[in-house]
């Protein structure tokens, strides 16, 4: 019998060191029972889809799992197609702080930057 060799599949999205550090910070403050944080793209906002990051207490086998040094990021299985090739960053300045996404699949965004369309 021939042995089949497979290569590791790349993660659906890339994380910057700043976003990994923020995930570690979130997990350090996580409520009891949280096993990671989950990125999803619920339908809302002016353009149709928005980015949402929330604590998760149970793994869904349909979700993409990305292990980081400080905790696990789950990517919603229904959102993966909208996010493939994206980079997730954490940005802080004098006025705001939040995750920022460079998404090559986004064809447009609303004026306030809260939602996008594919």
pLDDT at residue 30, rounded to an integer? 94
**Global model pTM greater than 0.85:** no
The secondary structure of the chain, three-state, reads: CCCCCCCCCCCCEEECHHHHHHHHHHHHCCCCCCCEEEEECCECCCCCEECEEEEECCCCCCCEEEEECCEEEEECCCCHHHHCCEEEEEEECCCCEEEEEECCCCCEECCCCCEEEC
Q: Are 48 and 116 in contact (CB under 8 A)?
A: yes
Q: Residue 53 is encoded by which pair of tokens?
A: 């990051």
Rounded Cα–Cα distance for residues 88 and 83 (Å): 10
Rounded Cα–Cα distance for residues 34 and 54 (Å): 10
| pLDDT over 70 at 116, yes or no | no
Phi/psi at 16 (5° precision): -80, 160
CB atoms under 10 Å from CB of 80, counted, come to: 17
Q: What is the pLDDT of residues 43-89, one digit of tens each?
A: 765 657 788 899 999 999 999 999 999 899 999 998 888 888 899 99
Q: What is the pLDDT of residues 7-27, one digit of tens each?
A: 666 678 999 999 999 999 999
pLDDT at residue 1, rounded to an integer? 62
């Amino acid at each position: 019998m021939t042995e089949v060799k497979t290569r590791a599949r790349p993660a659906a999205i890339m994380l910057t060191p700043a976003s990994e550090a923020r995930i570690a910070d979130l997990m350090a403050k996580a409520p009891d029972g949280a096993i990671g944080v989950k990125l999803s793209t619920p339908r809302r906002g002016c353009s149709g889809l928005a980015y949402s990051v929330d604590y998760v207490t149970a793994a869904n086998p349909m979700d993409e799992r990305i292990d980081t040094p400080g905790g696990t990021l789950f990517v919603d299985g229904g959102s993966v197609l909208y996010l493939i090739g994206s980079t997730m960053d954490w940005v802080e300045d004098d006025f705001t702080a939040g995750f920022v996404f460079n998404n090559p699949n986004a064809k447009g965004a609303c004026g306030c930057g809260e939602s996008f369309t594919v």
